[in-house]
């Protein structure tokens, strides 16, 4: 099949997806910060590079982009190069599962939110985070 969308147009679409996601992640971070939580962001030295981490509590949060992590409700593959995107997103999902298992088996608490969870009900997400942080840190 002929790729009808130019590379530039595709890049523009991808950037739009990314910037929408970044905005939502920032909203959550601001909300948590204003409620007194102190944490690090985009933590490169932790497995899977969590979006938010409080190391002393062994607590991390991932905010998963509906597109990149294959949300069952919102992930729409671009019309061009479907196979490429499909494989890529499938690989991301497999990696997410591996990361979850790793943290669980190493005594961390890992929360994962969809981009749409935060978009639709940020208060609920924050409550979930607070509830988890208030639990005693694992030894
Ligand atoms: Zn979604």
Mean pLDDT for all residues in the chain: 90
Compute, in angstroms, the gap from residue 26 CA to the centroid of ligand 1. 17
Using one digit for the tens of pLDDT, what is the confidence trace for 17-72?
888 888 999 999 999 999 999 899 989 999 999 999 999 889 999 999 999 999 99
Compute, in angstroms, the gap from residue 139 CA to the centroid of ligand 1. 34
**108, pLDDT greater than 60:** yes
Rounded Cα–Cα distance for residues 60 and 54 (Å):
6
Rounded Cα–Cα distance for residues 59 and 20 (Å):
25
Q: What is the pTM of this model?
A: 0.86
Compute, in angstroms, the gap from residue 71 CA to the centroid of ligand 1. 5
Residues 3/81, Cβ–Cβ less than 8 Å: yes
Residue 28's CB is within 10 A of a number of other CB atoms, namely 22
């Amino acid at each position: 099949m002929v790729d009808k969308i130019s590379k530039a147009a595709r890049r523009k679409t991808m950037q739009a997806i990314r910037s929408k996601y970044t905005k939502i992640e920032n909203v959550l971070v601001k909300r948590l910060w204003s409620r007194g939580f102190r944490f690090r962001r985009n933590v490169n030295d932790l497995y899977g590079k969590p979006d938010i981490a409080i190391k002393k509590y062994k607590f991390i949060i991932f905010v998963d982009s509906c597109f990149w992590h294959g949300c069952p409700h919102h992930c729409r593959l671009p019309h061009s190069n479907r196979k490429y995107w499909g494989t890529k997103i499938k690989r991301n999902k497999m990696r997410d599962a591996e990361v979850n298992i790793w943290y669980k088996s190493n005594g961390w608490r890992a929360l994962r939110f969809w981009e749409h969870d935060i978009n639709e009900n940020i208060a609920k997400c924050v409550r979930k985070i607070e509830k988890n942080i208030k639990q005693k840190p694992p030894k």
